[in-house]
Amino acid sequence: MRLDDRRVVITAAGRDFGRTLALRLADLGAEVFLSARRLDAAERVRDEILGRGHERVHAFACDLTDAASIRAFASAVARHTDRVDLLVNNGSRYLDGPDLLSATDEDIADTIASGATGTVLTVKNFLPLLLTSAQPDIVTMVSACGTAGHQRSDAHDSFYAAKSAQAGFAEILSKRLRPQGVRVISLYPPDFDNPDPLSGDWESTPRGPGSTLTAHSLVECVLFAVAQPRDCFIKSFHFEQA
């Protein structure tokens, strides 16, 4: 699949899976607008993409806990393009510790704000650009922690709360945006391996039936969903946990 005609926004693309998505989608030809809380983190990934010969890439700072920062990010993207074809909500702070008392109030508020409020405000501010696209898709990286009854993660309770909020938002958004042709796709992965896409590990990491889920497979799920004809609305991907 090629993405030469797609304009893609990815939040929290400065490291981990966000970086992986930015590198892989750029390799497939997409024009990539990537953000990170710190501008230098976004610029490092931008420079990696430029170093691979792909020039249609832009880096921005965006703090998903700050409404003004999200608005500024969307406005900056709008100065470069009149449409967004794919918005990937990848940003959400992870907080460890299965003990509610183990985290400060500030860390709890930051975790919920980045994953829950940040996702809602990012969609709200990018929706006008999505609605000008002939093929608008919203992909949200939720987590198995956002599924009812899940209890296998050591994540903090506030991370579970943030992911449950993301899941509920994506559920109603899918119903309400479908009449406007916007597909809302959510992924609910358990913990997964994220080999560096620029290393040999990307192809050599095992992907057999007994293996841990890989970022390679998650990227392919995203590509599969957005490649479908516009009458095909794939609402979510759920995964068995090894």
Digit-coded pLDDT (tens) for 140-179: 999 999 999 999 999 999 999 999 999 999 999 999 999 9
Task: Give me the pLDDT at residue 66, please.
Answer: 98
Task: Give me the pLDDT at residue 6, please.
Answer: 98
Per the domain annotation, does 174 fall within a domain? yes
Digit-coded pLDDT (tens) for 1-48: 899 999 999 999 999 999 999 999 999 999 999 999 999 999 999 999
Per the domain annotation, does 156 fall within a domain? yes
Digit-coded pLDDT (tens) for 54-90: 999 999 999 999 999 999 999 999 999 999 999 999 9
Task: Give me the pLDDT at residue 1, please.
Answer: 82
Per the domain annotation, does 168 fall within a domain? yes
Per the domain annotation, does 27 fall within a domain? yes
Per the domain annotation, does 2 fall within a domain? no
126-138 b/e (C-beta count within 10 Å ≥ 16 → b):
bbebbeebeebbb
Task: Give me the pLDDT at residue 198, please.
Answer: 95
Which CATH number is 142's domain given?
Answer: 3.40.50.720
pTM of the model: 0.96
Q: Which of 144, 140, 223 is nearest to 191 (CA)?
A: 144
89-107 b/e (C-beta count within 10 Å ≥ 16 → b):
bbbbbbbeeeeeeebeeee
| Host domain of residue 169 | 7-238
SS3 state at 88: strand
- Least confident span in 26-30, 95-99, 220-224: 95-99
Per the domain annotation, does 1 fall within a domain? no
pLDDT tier, 98 (very low <50, low <70, confident <90, very high otherwise): confident
What is the DSSP code string of 64-77?
A: TT-HHHHHHHHHHH
Task: Give me the pLDDT at residue 22, please.
Answer: 98
Number of domains in the chain: 1
